[in-house]
Structure 1
Amino acid sequence: MLAFTDLGRYYTQAQLARVREQKHPTISAWAGERIFVSFVVGPVAKDQVPTISIDLPDNWQVEIGVIRETSAYIGRGMTWGEIPTGPNAPAADYVQPLASLTAAPASYLHCVAAIAVPDEDIDPGPVTTTIRAGQKTLPLTINIAVLDYLYISPQLFSLELWQYPYAVARYYGVTPFSPEHEALVRENLHRYVQWGGDTIATTIVEDPWHHQTYDAYPSLVQWQQTANGGFTFDFSHFDQYVDWNIDEGINRKIKCFSLLPWDNIIRYKDAQGKWQEERPAVGSPRWREIWTAFLTAFIPHLTDAGWFTHTYMALDERPIDEMRTVIDFLAGFQNKYGESLKLSGAVNYQTAAADVLAHYDDLSINQAELGDPQKFQAFAAARRAQGQETTFYNCVGNYPSMFALSNPIETAYLIWYFAALGVDGFLRWALDAWPAAPYTSISHWYWESGDPFLIYPHHPGETGAYRTPRGMMLEHAMSQVRQWRFLASDEDTRDLPEVHTLTDYIQMLADLPLPAKTTNDYGATVAVHPAADRKEMQAVVAKIEKLLAAATQAVTAMMW
C-alpha cells in the first residue's frame, strides 16, 4: 500500500492498514515555502526499510521521515519530582529520518515528507511529481505561486518559543558552552528559525521557574558576592548564548527572566565560592539593593553590546502587586542615552488593572483567559495603535492544545483562531525542555505529556533535531497566516475579491468559542467531544487553505 494520510490526526496500525487509496488534492505552495505531505507505506517486513523517494529537481530539498511512537502518561503530573507511571498510551510524536532507520519499526509506516520549495529558478504553475515506495507509485501535484514578494516577514505573525540549552547539554552529555554544546544548541535553534522564531529567551537568575522542568535552568549571568557584600556579574554565557541566536537569525527580542523569579529566590556565590540563597520580599530594601546592583551593571553592558533597545525584562504569571512594584522600580533606570528597559509578561488581562497592562511593551495572554472575543479584539487593536504587541500563549490545562496526545490539527486550528482575534503572534513556553529519556517516555511530573517541547533530540551520529507532527503543523499554519496577512495588507492585493472572501471567513472564527474541554480521570485537560471537534477543526482548516489557495491563484494571475 502507498496512500495519502492526514497529518492532522494520529493513526493506529489498524487504522493505517485501512487507509483508502485516494487522489491527494493539489497542494498550493509559495516559492520558498516548506510543505508537508504524509502518506502510509506497507505492509513491510520488520527487517527491511523500504526505499522511498519523490521525483523532484535537485534544487528542491526533500526530507522523508517516519512518524514514531513513544510512551506518554494520559493524565497530568501533579507532584514535583514524581513522574506518573501510568496509565500510558503510545504517542506518535516524533519523525525519524528514513535514512537513519535500520529496520522497519512497524508493519505500516506513517511517513511524512518535508518539501522545501525553491525560492528562485522556479516557474509558477503546477508541478506534477511522483512518490515512490519500492514498486509502488503515487502521483502528487504541487501548484507553485511565484509572487513579486519573495520575503514575507515573520513579524506578520510572530513566534516565540523559550529555549532550554541546559537540557540539551544534559541529554547529549556535553559540557555547557563547549563547542560541542554550541553545535547541538544551534541545531535546535535552526528548527526554531525555520518556523519564524524571533525571540531569545535568557535567564538572569538561577532557575527563574523554580526547576519546573526536568532539568534545572541555571542563570546565564553568574552572580558573585564580593568580600564587602556587593556583587559582580559575569555576562560571558549570556553573551555567548545571545550571539548563537543572533548568528542563526533570532534577533528581534531578548527576554530576560526574571526580576520576579518564581518564589522570588535569588542565588549567588559568596566570597568563599559557596552558594547562598535569599528570598527578599519584592519591593523590600534588600530586594531593591540587590536588583539595583544588577541593573547598574546590566544596562551599560546591554548598551555597549548594541542590544539594549530590543531587550525586555520578562515576568511570567506574577501577582499584580509585584508587577506594580517592578514597573515603578524600573522607571528609575535608564541607559546613557536616556532609554528605558522594555517590559514583557504573561498576564491575565481580564483581572489586571489597565494602568499595569499599559506598561507592558510585550504582553501574552493565556488562551483560557480570552474572555469576550470582541472586547479582546478591541484591546489588542488599541495596544497595537500604541506600538505595543499582544500575543496568545498555550500551555498546561488548555484545550485545544499542542500536547503529544493532542491531534496535530488542534495546533493549526489554534493558530488560525488566534490570528482571527487580531493578535500579533503566538508564544509557547518550551521548544526543547526534554524529559529524561524522551524516546522511552515523555511523561512529566507537572504537565500533560509533551507540553515542554516541540522537537526531539536526534540519535548519536546524526545531526538535526527531529521534527514532530505538531511542530510541522505549527510551522505550516504560521507560514499560511503570514501569507494571508500579507495579502490582506498589501495595497496591490488587499482589494481582490478572493482575498476579501478569505479574510471574512477567517474573521468569522473570532465569533466562535473554543471547543469545550473537560478533565479526564487522571487530571489531563481533554475534549468533551473529541471526534466531533477533530472533524470540525479539520473542516475549518481545510476551508481556509482552499480559500488561501484561491486568493494566491488570483494574485498570481494578476502578476503573470
Structure 2
Amino acid sequence: MKRKLFLLLAYTLGTVSLCAQQGITQCGTLTGQKPFPLNEYKELPDPKSPDKKAWNIVSRPCVSWGSTDKRYAKGEVPTLKKQTQLKLSAWKGERVSAQAVVWSNKKINDLQYTFTEFKSNKGIALPASAFTGGFVRYVMTDELNKDKKGGCGHRPDHSKYDSLLVADPIDHLLSKMNLEEMNAQAIWVKCQVPSTTPSGIYKGALIVKGDNKQLARLELEIEVGNRTLPAPAEWAYHLDLWQSPFAVARYNQVPLWSKEHFDAMRPLMKMLADAGQKVITASIMEHPWNCQTEDCFESMVTWLKKADGTWYFDYTVLDKWVEFMMNLGINKQINCYSMVPWELSFQYFDQATNSVKYINAAPGEKEYDELWTAFLSSFSKHLKEKGWFDICTIAMDERPMEVMQKTLKVIRKSDPNWKVSLAGNYHAEIEPDIFDYCITISQSFPDKVLERRRQEHKYSTNYTCCTEPDPNTFTFSAPAESAWISYFSAKEGLDGYLRWAYNSWPLEPLLDSRFRSWAGGDTYLIYPGARSSIRFERMVEGIQAHEKITILRNEFKQKGDKAGLKKIEKILSSFNLNDFPNTPAAVTVEKACKAINSL
C-alpha cells in the first residue's frame, strides 16, 4: 500500500512538473513547449489525417496564387487551378493583399520567399518597404453552436464541438520554414501603396524557394489608380476594437504598466492605429465585465476612501495608458467603462480599516448616486485639466433601457456636458442622450434619426459578437465576412463598426483560439508578437472600402453627380443579412470591390 501511494505521489508530482515546463491551452491540451511562445513556436497536431490517395497524385511541389477568400487546410490538397499571374487594383495610399499557396507530397526544407522589384512601364519603382509577407499559420478552432444560430454559451466540454486546425495567424517573424510531407502552406502578401505613388501598372513577382532552389516565380501586377486614400488617422471611419493591456502583460510575462509592458504593447497597438482605430478603451473601475475573459480588466483608476470619509481618486495609470495610445495616433476618443458593470459591485480601498471593501448598489439607489457623483466630479475636473474632457465618454454596453435612464440622470447631474457611449440594443427613448451609439448588426437606426445624428456630429455604428452566426470574425468564419461587415455598414449609412475584443487572448492564442464561453476566435483578432491574421487583414480591406465609398459619395454630392450616387447604392444593395448563408460573403465582396474601383 505504501509503495502504491509512493508511486502515485511520484506520478502526480511528475505530471505537475511537466505541466509547469510546458504550456496548456484553454481546453486542457498540453502544448509540448514552453508557455507563451513569442518568436518561434510549434503548432498543435492536426486532428485530421491527410488523404494519402489524394496526395499521391501530387507528383512534385506545386506553387500557385490562391484566393484571400479561402483558408487553405494544412493537410488537404488545395482545390485550385494553378495560377502564376495575378492582378490587383488599388488607390494611392491603400493596402492590398494576395495569398500564394505551396503544397507538396514530399517534405520541403527551408521554404522561403522574396519579392522582386516592382516597376511601372515608365521605370518608376514601388519602394521595397511597401511589400511585406508572412507564412499563414494554423490555430485550433471549433464551430458554431449545434443549432448553427450563433456561438454564445459556456463551453466547458469542447469534445462536444468539432475541433480542427484552421489557417489564420500571419507570421511575419518567420523568415523560412520546413513544409512537411502531404501539407499545404500559404504565404500572405501585402502591399502598402504609398500615397505619393504615380498612377500606373507596377509589375513584379513573388519568388518562392525551397530545398536550395527556386520553386516558382509568381507574377504580380498592381494597378494604382488616380484616387488617393488618406492616412488611417484621417479616415472618417469610426473603428472601435476594444483593447486589453492586461492580456499583453500576462502573455509576455512582464509587470503590469512597466516599461517592458508598454514596449510589448507598442507594435500591437501600432497595428491597430494603422487600421484606423479611433477609440481608446479605458477601465475606470475594477472588473467592468466581471472577469469574463482570461485576463480580468483591472481599474486604471485607484479608488480610495480616506479615513475622514471623503473620496480620493488617482489617475496615474489611466494617464499613462491614454498618453501611450495617443502617441501612437489613436487620439480621437476615450471610452471609459463602466458605470454599470455586469456585477453591480464597486471596489475601493478603505483607509480607515486598511482593507479593500465593496459597495453593492444599483443605479437609482442613493449609495450608487452618491458614489458616482463623487467620482464623476473628480474625473471631469481631471479630464479638463488634461484637455481630454471633450473626447472622453462614459461608456456602457448591453445594459437595459431602464438602467440606462437612471444612469444618465446621475451623469447629467454631475456635468450636463458629459458624452455617453452605448453598445447595445436601439432605444428611441435614450437615443438623443447617446453621443456614440453602437447597435447590433441586425438592427437599424430610423432614417430621420440617423440623419439628425449625422448633423449633430454623433457617431452611429453597429457591432457583432458571439450572437451572429454570420457575418462574423470567428477563426472558422469565411474570411470575406470580415470585409462584408463594413460594406454593410456603408449601405446602412453608418459611421463604422465595433468589435468587443481586439486582443483578449485565451491561454495560448497562437495555438488554440477556443475559449470556455464562446466560439473560437471570438475573443481576439490579432496574435502575440504583433502577428496579424487573415480575419484582421480582411477587416482592414472592408474598412478601406467603407472609406472609399464615403469619399466617393462626398465627391459625387459636391459635383451633383446623381448617376454616380446611384451606382454606389446599386453596388451596396446586394449586401443583405438575409442572404446568409446561401450567398457567400466572398461573392458579394469581390463584385463590390471591382465596381468601387471602377468608379
Query: Contact 1:377–1:421 (CA<8 Å) still a contact in 2?
Result: no
Other-structure match for 1:109: 185
1:150-299 counterparts in 2 under 5 A? Answer: 150-151=230-231, 154-271=234-351, 272-299=353-380
Other-structure match for 2:590: 542
CA gap 1:147/1:369 in 2 versus in 1, 3 angstroms: closer
- TM-score relative to the length of structure 1: 0.87
Root-mean-square deviation over aligned CA pairs: 2.4
CA gap 1:367/1:236 in 2 versus in 1, 3 angstroms: same
Other-structure match for 1:64: 133
CA gap 1:328/1:98 in 2 versus in 1, 3 angstroms: closer
1:196-255 deviation digits (Å, cap 9, x = unpaired): 001001000001011111111100101112112332111011000000110000011100
1:497-516 counterparts in 2 under 5 A? Answer: 499-500=564-565, 502-509=567-574, 512-516=576-580
CA gap 1:171/1:13 in 2 versus in 1, 3 angstroms: closer
- Aligned to 1:533, which of 577, 580, 583? 583
1:515-542 deviation digits (Å, cap 9, x = unpaired): 35xxxxxxxxxxxx4xx432xx222111
Query: Contact 1:167–1:433 (CA<8 Å) still a contact in 2?
Result: yes
**Separation in 1 of the partners of 2:239 and 2:295?**
24
Query: Contact 2:152–2:467 (CA<8 Å) still a contact in 1?
Result: no
Matching of residue 91 in structure 1 with residue 166 in structure 2: yes
Other-structure match for 1:519: none
| AA of the residue aligned to 1:125 | G
Other-structure match for 2:418: 341
CA gap 1:414/1:78 in 2 versus in 1, 3 angstroms: closer
SS, match of residue 109 in structure 2: coil
Structure 2 stretches lacking a partner, 5+ long = 1-61, 118-125, 146-150
Query: Contact 1:7–1:408 (CA<8 Å) still a contact in 2?
Result: yes
CA gap 1:16/1:24 in 2 versus in 1, 3 angstroms: farther
**Separation in 2 of the partners of 1:498 and 1:179?**
55
Other-structure match for 2:453: 383
CA gap 1:151/1:467 in 2 versus in 1, 3 angstroms: closer
1:290-329 deviation digits (Å, cap 9, x = unpaired): 1122112111100000000000000111111111111111
Range that drifts further, 390-399 or 148-157: 148-157
| AA of the residue aligned to 1:301 | H
Query: Contact 2:166–2:476 (CA<8 Å) still a contact in 1?
Result: yes
Quote how far apart the aligned CAs of 1:48 are: 1.7
Matching of residue 455 in structure 1 with residue 526 in structure 2: yes
1:352-411 deviation digits (Å, cap 9, x = unpaired): 2x23111001100011334xxxx6444322321333211000101112111111011111
Quote how far apart the aligned CAs of 1:83 are: 6.4
**Separation in 1 of the partners of 2:74 and 2:512?**
20
Structure 1 stretches lacking a partner, 5+ long = 459-464, 517-528, 552-560
Query: Contact 2:92–2:229 (CA<8 Å) still a contact in 1?
Result: no
Quote how far apart the aligned CAs of 1:78 are: 6.7
Query: Contact 1:44–1:50 (CA<8 Å) still a contact in 2?
Result: no
Q: Percent of aligned positions with the same letter in both sequences?
A: 26
Matching of residue 393 in structure 1 with residue 463 in structure 2: yes
> How many pairs are equivalent?
516
Query: Contact 2:199–2:223 (CA<8 Å) still a contact in 1?
Result: yes
Larger radius of gyration: 2
Other-structure match for 2:390: 309
Quote how far apart the aligned CAs of 1:501 are: 5.5
SS, match of residue 343 in structure 2: helix
Q: Which runs of 4+ in 1 moved over 6 A?
A: 77-81
| AA of the residue aligned to 2:547 | R
**Separation in 2 of the partners of 1:8 and 1:498?**
31
| AA of the residue aligned to 2:573 | M
Range that drifts further, 103-112 or 439-448: 103-112
Range that drifts further, 83-92 or 149-158: 149-158
